Structure 1
Amino acid sequence: MVKLPFDDTDCGWYAALPPPMSAKRLEGHHTADHVVIGAGFAGLAAARRLAEHCPHARIVLVDAQRVGYGASGRNSGFVIDLPHKFALEHPDPQHKQRLLGLNRSAIAQLGSLIKQYGIECQWSHAGKYQGAVGPRGLAYLDHFRSLLDNLGEDYRVVEQAELKGVLGTSHYSRAIYTPGCYLMQPAALVRGLGASLPENVEVLEESPIRGLERDSSGAWLLTGDHGLLRTPSVLLSTSIFTQEFGYLRNRLLPVMTFASWTRPLTDEEMASTGIQADWGLTPADHAGTTVRMTQDRRLIIRNTYKHVPRYGHSVNSVTRESIRNDHRKAFLARYPGLQHVPFTHTWGGTYAISRNFTNFFGKVNEGVFATACDNGVGAAWGTVSGRLLADRVVGADSQQLQDIQAVTGMPSLNPPEPFLGLGVRTRIRWAAWNSRSEL
């Protein structure tokens, strides 16, 4: 029995888009040369690349939800070139350079597609601030600075007064600005990528796959509620849900993070705070608060992590209201003069991490390939890993394919329940307590 996505209906990014066209669903029996499961960043990139390699093949991209509704459309809108802190601490400089190269190739790919197809998604080369509030955050910021120095990366230290001129708040004492990050509207970008796929890619939405098994001839049968797909080649771009198909079980941790945003600020509200539009700040202390200001002047607050073994079913309305209240406290700590500005949406998104912070990429069975576990860098990693997974399937070798195979591996095994859940929940609570000054 496959546990399916169960996302809330309050994602601001998705709600801000026009209503989508009617969904085409899986109905009846079909055959395809390749089937890609999961229409997020990885699945979209994989389907596009397969179509480029095999222009006469029939490629089916199938998703349990609408394109842009799932995890890829629910992040904070960063496309990050620099790996997160854990990867930056890797002892091998070549490992880090490979990660950087892969992430930056993903950014270049996305930028090219956005330009080619005129995708309206607030794409912006805005860079990123990593901000510190107090002594704990400043210590993390100093460590981040030393990692950048060792890597030879460009950055700039921004002090409180200059920060206030951009962020419109004196809440942060210092930040490091790195120029390589891009910002975007994730649901708009994902939907635009889906709408611009090559003609030989058929997209089936609202079509959950509930079974994956081989027939007597060795072909794979994908069973839906109202139809069946038969194919020799399956690409799983299903992130945490990869384990629902029997692969990487007990190796992925399902975590949900949450965000709230405001209505667009007025001219008067922008002027009263001195805030500028179109920037993003992540916390120096990874358990702190992410803040975004969109191009259309919405402030986003993101923090709070939950272990969600039943995915969206693990979070109820009472928990969401509590999270929204916590977001409100973080918002007012930074912008007390905007207390009259309401939140209009609060949403969560589920993603996969691993205990050894290792991404999986490669073959999991005869004719079945997977990319899973982005460890929180989904937009860039999903894009490049999906594209290269398609290369791996068709046997198109390249330096980038060799690079991604060199930096990926097997996520480590998790302890059994109930010890896993107890340990993860305790660690999340402990991190939130230690980081309370940075929230």
Structure 2
Amino acid sequence: MNNRAIHLPHDDQDCGWYAALPAPAAPRRLTGRQQVDYAVIGAGFAGLAAARQLAEHVPDARIVLVDAQRVGYGASGRNSGFVIDLPHKMALEHPDPAHKQRLLGLNRSAIAQLQRLIGEHRIDCQWSHAGKYQGAVGARGLAYLEHFEHLMRELGEPFHSVEGDELANVLGTRHYRRAVYTPGSYLMQPAALVRGLADSLPGNVELLEESPIQGLQRDAQGQWLLQGRDGQIRTPRLLLGTSIFTQEFGYLRSRLLPVMTFASWTRPLTQAEMDAIGMQADWGLTPADHAGTTVRMTQDRRLMIRNTYKHVPRYGKSVSDSTRQEIRAGHRKALISRYPQLANVEFTHTWGGVYAISRNFTNFFGELEDGVYATACDNGVGAAWGTISGTLLADLAVGADSQSLSDIRNVTGMPSRNPPEPLLGLGVRTRIRLAAWNSRSEL
């Protein structure tokens, strides 16, 4: 197999999570010809977990983990900082209770794994068992919230309805009519967590950053050749933790949809500002209406607003600076509607992150062809799903069976095929605009 030119990540330079970290050490890049036992492409949650698990299974193997950017700069370092245990959105509505229980078990296994690694390696990433609020502003949001409560009862999971003073004393605003609190989610600083996981990789994993793979083919001996700008990796076994970019290597083409969502945050609020508003630190709220606004208050007292979705067929290159400014203005409106007292507090960063969704909301996990394994299409649940699917992908690659491996095979499948362009782009853009219009009261 020989690919055409591979389109590489093109993320903006304004991610607040990444900017808040100290400057990293100089990267090690791919040079020369490297023969390895396993190669993993993509150093996000999935790739990091896969490389770590491979190293534990085969400690004498030479394993290379390669990324086009710096660790924490891509999608895994750009999310809202939730690690969610519950099945997500459409998955929560799945008609088979066993399917949802498998997802719940996989997500909680990922959380336990992350908590163990954070403790063992003393990763400073604002890790917190804070739970999660799901909030409603108007009648549309309240209807979604009631449906969510119904689904939680069916699942047998605990939740707590919060409103009035109890809710306002946490959020510092009466903008929300009601929220449902679920206790199983964790909060974190995603760029810090990803970097910490990379810094603590086992000794037989070599991390190569700023080393985009620009070509992939199989040689006459059946080995895979990963071609970089200044070097080449040759390996019999390849694991892809590349999310939407999996299609750039020739796999799952016309089955993944690249979507970008955007966030902005403020400088750290002063304690006086926090006291004046009556807000607690360290909480997160997602919208009951999925197209609404996510709000995070970090441990270091930054308020983050996330909403707005774009179809980005050229990834970051699909979004202009003027579009980012329009999005930032929309975030500003959402902030002031909730916190008019902060009218003089500006945003310091606005950024986007690309993830993959599928039309049938199905995640892919498994062997693509002999010696090539992938987990792709997280459908917007990156941290927990990436961690557990990457771990189990390594198990699959070395032939280590488990109940968890059986579970993930049962809940994954083949993303459905997309219609051809220009129908695809027109349909996705229309659906996003319609969702934004219908959900405008929740923004």
> Common fold, TM-score beyond 0.5?
yes
Q: Select which of 337, 344, 351 maps to 2:341.
A: 337
Q: Select which of 393, 411, 421 maps to 1:389.
A: 393
Q: Are 1:210 and 1:222, in contact at CA under 8 Å, matched by a contact in 2? A: yes
Q: Select which of 194, 197, 202 maps to 2:198.
A: 194
Q: Normalising by structure 1, what TM-score?
A: 1.00
Aligned counterparts, 1:25-36, within 5 A: 25-36=29-40
Does structure 1 residue 434 correspond to structure 2 residue 441? no
1:280-319: per-residue Cα shift (whole Å, max 9, x none)?
0000000000000000000000000000000000001000
Gaps of 5+ in 2: none
Q: Are 1:13 and 1:73, in contact at CA under 8 Å, matched by a contact in 2? A: yes
Gaps of 5+ in 1: none
Does structure 1 residue 86 correspond to structure 2 residue 90? yes
1:365 shift after superposition: 1.1
1:161 shift after superposition: 2.0
Partner of 1:225: 229
Q: Are 1:85 and 1:144, in contact at CA under 8 Å, matched by a contact in 2? A: no
- Distance between the aligned counterparts of 2:222 and 2:241, measured in 1? 21
1:160 shift after superposition: 2.6
1:187 shift after superposition: 0.1
Report the aligned-residue RMSD.
0.4
Match of 1:300, SS? strand
1:188-246: per-residue Cα shift (whole Å, max 9, x none)?
00000000000000000000001110000000000000000000000000000000000
1:363 shift after superposition: 0.5
Partner of 1:212: 216
1:85 shift after superposition: 2.1
Q: State the AA in 1 paired with 2:415.
A: P
Partner of 1:347: 351
Q: Select which of 39, 47, 59 maps to 2:63.
A: 59
Q: Select which of 417, 420, 435 maps to 1:413.
A: 417
Aligned counterparts, 1:16-415, within 5 A: 16-415=20-419
- Distance between the aligned counterparts of 1:152 and 1:267, measured in 2? 39
- Distance between the aligned counterparts of 2:10 and 2:279, measured in 1? 36
- Distance between the aligned counterparts of 2:72 and 2:92, measured in 1? 30
1:235-260: per-residue Cα shift (whole Å, max 9, x none)?
00000000000000000000000000
Match of 2:170, SS? helix
Q: State the AA in 2 paired with 1:117.
A: H
1:92 shift after superposition: 0.3
Match of 2:215, SS? strand
- Distance between the aligned counterparts of 1:195 and 1:288, measured in 2? 35
Match of 2:61, SS? coil
- Distance between the aligned counterparts of 1:161 and 1:272, measured in 2? 15
Match of 1:158, SS? strand
Moved over 3 A (4+): none
1:133-188: per-residue Cα shift (whole Å, max 9, x none)?
00000000000000000000000000132110000000000000000000000000
- Distance between the aligned counterparts of 1:348 and 1:89, measured in 2? 28
- Distance between the aligned counterparts of 1:170 and 1:269, measured in 2? 17
- Distance between the aligned counterparts of 1:144 and 1:111, measured in 2? 27
- Distance between the aligned counterparts of 1:2 and 1:20, measured in 2? 27
- Distance between the aligned counterparts of 1:433 and 1:23, measured in 2? 44
- Distance between the aligned counterparts of 1:163 and 1:84, measured in 2? 23
Match of 2:413, SS? coil
Match of 1:209, SS? coil
Q: Are 1:391 and 1:397, in contact at CA under 8 Å, matched by a contact in 2? A: yes
Q: Normalising by structure 2, what TM-score?
A: 0.99
Q: State the AA in 2 paired with 1:416.
A: P
Match of 1:165, SS? helix
Q: Are 1:83 and 1:377, in contact at CA under 8 Å, matched by a contact in 2? A: no
1:83 shift after superposition: 1.3
Q: State the AA in 2 paired with 1:207.
A: S
- Distance between the aligned counterparts of 1:310 and 1:132, measured in 2? 34
- Give the number of equivalent residue pairs: 439
